[in-house]
Amino acid sequence: MPLSRINTRSLTDGTVAAVDIADGSVTAVKLADTAVSPGTYGGSAAIPVIIVDQQGRLTSATNTAISIPSGSYATNSNSAIFQANTNVTGNVTLSAGVGGLSVGPLTVAAGYSVTVDPGVRWVIL
């Protein structure tokens, strides 16, 4: 807002609009700190969990560890081939929001089952 347009009413009733602020005039020094610590989130062992408010501000940033169950996969010595178990040794349910991909042939151990909910896909190659 040009200085000629500033008056007591403008400042007290909050009518300073974004169009009244010159490009580049709001610098990092003028921005309020948030609860988010500066740094890098996510990486080879963690997934970032980011929360954004209605105004697009980051209100939270944390890391969640990537956890792959022991024995669910293996690789050869040079990691060029991904190997997956072909034996299902526990009950598995594929529910809404997930899908399944397996490389067969597969064997489901006695007493266990694989349940695929409606609308979910399980692809076996």
Instruction: Verify that 56 and 79 share a domain, yes or no.
Output: no
Among 29, 49, 65, the domain boundary falls at 65
Instruction: Verify that 60 and 78 share a domain, yes or no.
Output: no
| More confident call, 57 vs 4 | 57
Does 3 score more than 70 pLDDT? no
| More confident call, 62 vs 76 | 62
Q: Residues in the chain, how many?
A: 125
Instruction: Verify that 53 and 87 share a domain, yes or no.
Output: no
Of the candidates 105, 108, 103, the residue with the CA atom closest to the CA atom of residue 125: 103
The overall average pLDDT reported for the chain is 79
Does 110 score more than 90 pLDDT? yes
Give the per-residue pLDDT at 95.
87
Task: Categorize the per-residue pLDDT at 15 as very low, low, confident or very high, splitting at 50, 70 and 90.
Answer: low
pLDDT tens, position by position, 67-100: 766 655 555 566 666 777 888 888 989 888 888 8
Neighbours of 120 (CB within 10 A): 15
- Name the domain count of the chain: 2
Percent of the chain with pLDDT over 70: 76
Q: Give the domain extent around 78.
A: 73-124
Report CA dihedral (8, 14, 15, 16) to the nearest 10 degrees.
90
Dihedral sign, Cα of residue 92, residue 94, residue 99, residue 103 = positive
The DSSP line for 67-79 is: ---TTSEEE-TTS
Give the per-residue pLDDT at 74.
58
